[in-house]
């Protein structure tokens, strides 16, 4: 498995742990709960190896990764019933293939618009994070 020394997702360093909580490994990726929960159930799916672009994957790897993204999104839908899930794959400053899965709720933050990457508005207690993660894991 290829890793990069300066990559947040490869190194699982303190910065990464301050932003998200590892939920579980999927077939080709890792699922994380984003700690900032202005969009309840927001997660990140990060590819297991260090690649920058989706097109760098083989067809088999790409299909497996996208299946992981779909599996995680379906779990978020079942667990939280958002009106829509937005998918963000922005890697300008963090070049590691990952998708933000952002549940959007009618009347909720940025509904009908582009989600803010980290509004730094809603953080949960350890117990609330555990409950949120359990809701996702129970429907994966």
Assess if residue 2 is contained within a domain: no
Residue 1 has pLDDT above 70, yes or no: no
Q: What is the pLDDT of residue 34?
A: 97
Mean pLDDT in residue range 113-124: 88
pTM of the full structure:
0.94
**CA-based radius of gyration for the chain:** 14
CA distance 62 to 36: 28
Cβ count near 28 (within 10 Å): 20
Domain holding 36, by residue range, is: 8-137
CA distance 9 to 123: 21
pLDDT tens string 64-99: 999 999 999 999 999 999 999 999 998 888 889 999
Assess if residue 84 is contained within a domain: yes
Assess if residue 108 is contained within a domain: yes
CATH code of the domain in which 131 resides: 3.30.428.10
Confidence bin at 117 (pLDDT 50/70/90): confident
Number of domains in the chain: 1
Confidence bin at 116 (pLDDT 50/70/90): confident
Assess if residue 1 is contained within a domain: no
Nearest to 31 by CA among 103, 101, 84: 101
């Amino acid at each position: 498995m290829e890793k990069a020394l300066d990559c947040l997702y490869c190194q699982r360093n303190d910065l990464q742990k301050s932003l998200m909580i590892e939920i579980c490994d999927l077939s080709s990726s890792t699922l994380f709960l984003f700690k900032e929960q202005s969009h309840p159930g927001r997660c990140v799916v990060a590819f297991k190896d260090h690649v920058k672009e989706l097109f760098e994957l083989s067809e088999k790897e790409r299909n497996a990764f996208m299946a992981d993204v779909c599996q995680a999104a379906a779990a978020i839908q079942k667990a939280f019933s958002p009106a829509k899930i937005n998918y963000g794959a922005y890697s300008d400053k963090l070049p590691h293939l990952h998708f933000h899965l952002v549940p959007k709720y009618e009347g909720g933050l940025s509904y009908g618009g582009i989600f803010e990457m980290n509004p730094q508005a809603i953080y949960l207690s350890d117990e609330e994070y555990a409950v949120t993660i359990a809701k996702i894991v129970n429907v994966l």
